[in-house]
A and B are shown apart, each in its own frame.
Chain A
């Protein structure tokens, strides 16, 4: 089991009504973690669907979904960036 800090930004944060949370999970990779989150219900399925572009960062570095998670990781989920 590992404890993760999840952080949400922008449209995703607004849609979920959630800024951050601590979770305990067995998920080995980002892909498995995202599947676990989708199990939470229709809203999560919709926000984290393939059609809705989202990005994932682990410990503040953007990563692909096959990245392996470690205890204490900070995982951020957000829409494609729009600064500048």
Chain B
């Protein structure tokens, strides 16, 4: 990843500050566009009354897989910097789960690469979510066909 000017890939249990992360990619004068995506824990998923989430991942494979996805994006678009932060462990309602930030000279590359990274992350990176409901029950989230069909536009 040396030829990306800036590259950050963190899998962590600790919360992160999305706005600081985005801000840190706006300082390079070669960047004309910074596009970000923040995925949040919402109250209605496969079940309603969700109060939190438990996130599991396959340590080692996750990092390799995300690096590969970033390389794929770099082959398609001219991008200067990528930040991916994904939380694991226990998350509360409304907390950010994932942040993807892409910086580029031009907006089109940044928009496209950010969406591409998220589409691949959701279908390739070994993370699994468990919804925790207000009544104390918890359920593993089932994979969505719509996430897989989202990949077709990149073929």
Q: Is the CB of A84 within 8 A of B128?
A: no
Scan residues 18-70 of chain B and give those whose CB is less than 8 A from a CB of chain A.
Answer: 39, 55-58, 60-61, 64-65
Cross-chain contact B128 with A60 (CB below 8 angstroms): no
With A9-B126, A9-B128, A76-B61 already in contact, the answer to whether A81 and B143 are too (CB < 8 A) is yes
Which residues on A sit within 8 Å (CB–CB) of B61?
57, 60-61, 76
Instruction: Check B126 against A81 for contact (C-beta < 8 Å).
Output: yes
A19 to chain B, nearest CB (A): 11
**Is A83 in contact with B98, judged by CB distance below 8 angstroms?**
yes
- Which residues of chain A (55-77) have a CB below 8 Å from chain B? 57, 60-62, 76
Q: Which residues of A contact B (CB under 8 A)?
A: 7, 9-11, 14, 53, 57, 60-62, 76, 78-84
18 pairs, CB–CB < 8 Å, chain A vs chain B: A9-B56, A9-B126, A10-B128, A57-B126, A61-B61, A62-B124, A76-B58, A76-B126, A78-B128, A79-B143, A80-B143, A81-B122, A81-B125, A81-B143, A83-B86, A83-B97, A84-B39, A84-B97
